[in-house]
């Protein structure tokens, strides 16, 4: 039984980890820390979990957590993971960080986009970018996984297999639409229910922090124009990626590399993913249209941002790190309707 800790238990990513782990036959949650909820029973803080957990939230102490846990998921805001990850790694605890602190290999780019100096650059070499289909072997062997951002997962999985064949003009245009859980759990004017209901907005145009993460994964020559949007629903990302290939190529053949991936579903040409078919699941659905008139290729992908885009991908990494079937606790169908 893997002994699991969760740091930052009340964020949306961590809640989802707790939800999935409640049904994981090979893992047990042994420590849950939260600044704001320390001292309270987890199920009072997160009433959906009542009857399924009997554990208290506590203040983080690296010694105590290290004693009780084999692996710790860290789910805190950007630039806040490092103070937790460093002592845990020093004590030999494996870490799966669902925040951005260990995703970018170049600390200068981290500083540019996140506005803070990287506090643990020495760990960046150990950290594996936890995009399972790309880095499965490395994940199996590492002690520190940086789970990718939700938008990057939805963009990299469809784009990476076709880049070499397509040699697209750049920047590639990525317009993504996300549910509002992507904006986190902290109440604010923008996402107060009556302000966001019946609304759609673009944000962080030209400046979104996931931009360098996408470009790092795609390789130095593929610049992207990434524009995120939010629409009035809770979960899921649909990414529309407009590619202008400079060569003819066979799209379906490129995706053959995914044929054994348990959670990538290639729908094929002219078959388009929708958020509802992946919600509450770990799947990434991918489809595309070749526009003969314009010469463009339009890729569409869909994920649940909290599972396939965060917690599911994180648990898949954990399963690999501990030698379990990577699908454990993850083969749940989407919730439709």
Active-site residues: which are they?
Answer: 150
Of residues 91 and 327, the one with the C-beta less far from its own copies? 327
Cis before 171 (ω within 30): yes
Of residues 20 and 146, the one with the C-beta less far from its own copies? 20
- Told to check if 265 binds its own copies by CB under 8 A, we report yes
Of the candidates 185, 221, 246, 250, which one interacts with its own copies according to CB under 8 A?
A: 185
Q: Per-residue x/- marks for its own copies, 14-53, CB under 8 A? A: -x--xx--xx----------------------xxxxxxx-
Of residues 193 and 248, the one with the C-beta less far from its own copies? 193
- Told to check if 248 binds its own copies by CB under 8 A, we report no
- Told to check if 167 binds its own copies by CB under 8 A, we report no
The conformation of residue 334, written as its DSSP 8-state character, comes to P
Alpha-carbon span 61 to 33, nearest angstrom = 9
User: Which H or E run includes 30?
Assistant: strand 27-33
- Told to check if 272 binds its own copies by CB under 8 A, we report yes
**Smallest Cα–Cα separation from 1: which of 322, 325, 326, 332?**
322
Of residues 99 and 236, the one with the C-beta less far from its own copies? 236
Query: Measuring CA to CA, how many Å separate 80 from each of 8, 199, 269?
Result: 10, 31, 42
Of the candidates 206, 247, 248, 259, which one interacts with its own copies according to CB under 8 A?
A: 206
- Told to check if 257 binds its own copies by CB under 8 A, we report no
Give pairs for 181-184: CB < 8 Å, separation 24+: 181/12, 181/234, 181/235, 181/305, 181/306, 182/150, 182/230, 182/237, 182/305, 183/230, 184/11, 184/12, 184/77
Scan residues 77-96 and list those touching its own copies (CB under 8 A).
none
Of residues 220 and 292, the one with the C-beta less far from its own copies? 292
Of the candidates 106, 192, 221, 325, which one interacts with its own copies according to CB under 8 A?
A: 192
The structure tokens listed for 166 are 């397509």
- Told to check if 187 binds its own copies by CB under 8 A, we report yes
- Told to check if 332 binds its own copies by CB under 8 A, we report yes
| Shortest Å, Cβ 141 to its own copies | 27
Cis before 243 (ω within 30): no
Alpha-carbon span 206 to 287, nearest angstrom = 26
Query: Measuring CA to CA, how many Å separate 137 from each of 78, 165, 176?
Result: 27, 24, 29
User: Which H or E run includes 188?
Assistant: none
- Told to check if 1 binds its own copies by CB under 8 A, we report no
| Shortest Å, Cβ 39 to its own copies | 18
Of residues 16 and 128, the one with the C-beta less far from its own copies? 16
Q: Give one word for 6, left, alpha or beta, with left for phi > 0 and alpha for psi -120 to 50.
A: beta
Scan residues 278-317 and list those touching its own copies (CB under 8 A).
278-281, 283, 285, 289-294, 296, 298, 300, 302
The structure tokens listed for 313 are 């991908």
């Amino acid at each position: 039984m893997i002994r699991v800790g969760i740091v930052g238990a009340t964020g949306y990513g961590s809640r989802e980890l707790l939800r999935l782990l409640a049904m994981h036959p090979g893992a047990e949650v042994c420590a849950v820390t939260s600044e704001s909820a320390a001292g309270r029973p987890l199920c009072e803080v997160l009433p959906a979990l009542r009857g399924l957990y009997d554990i208290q939230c506590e203040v983080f102490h690296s010694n105590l957590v290290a004693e009780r846990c084999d692996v710790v998921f860290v789910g805190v805001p950007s630039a806040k993971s490092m103070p937790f990850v460093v002592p845990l790694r020093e004590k030999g605890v494996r870490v799966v960080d669902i925040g951005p602190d260990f995703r970018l290999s170049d600390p200068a780019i981290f500083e540019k986009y996140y506005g803070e100096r990287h506090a643990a650059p020495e760990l960046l070499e150990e950290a594996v970018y936890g995009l399972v289909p790309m880095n499965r072997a490395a994940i199996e062997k590492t002690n520190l996984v940086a789970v990718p951002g939700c938008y990057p997962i939805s963009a990299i999985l469809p784009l990476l297999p076709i880049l070499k064949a397509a040699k697209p003009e750049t920047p590639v245009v990525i317009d993504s639409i996300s549910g509002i859980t992507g904006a986190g759990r902290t109440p604010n004017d923008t996402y107060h229910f009556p302000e966001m209901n019946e609304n759609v907005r673009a944000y962080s145009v030209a400046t979104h922090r996931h931009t360098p993460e996408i470009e790092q994964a795609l390789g130095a020559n593929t610049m992207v124009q990434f524009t995120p949007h939010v629409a009035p629903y809770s979960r899921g990302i649909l990414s529309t990626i407009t590619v202008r290939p400079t060569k003819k190529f066979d799209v379906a053949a490129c995706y053959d590399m995914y044929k054994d991936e348990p959670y990538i579903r290639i729908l094929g040409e002219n078959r388009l993913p929708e958020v509802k078919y992946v919600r509450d699941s770990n799947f990434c659905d991918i489809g595309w249209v070749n526009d003969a008139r314009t010469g463009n290729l339009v890729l569409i992908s869909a994920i649940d941002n909290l599972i396939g885009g965060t917690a599911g991908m994180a648990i898949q990494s954990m399963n690999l790190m501990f030698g379990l079937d990577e699908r454990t606790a993850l083969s749940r169908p989407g919730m439709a309707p």
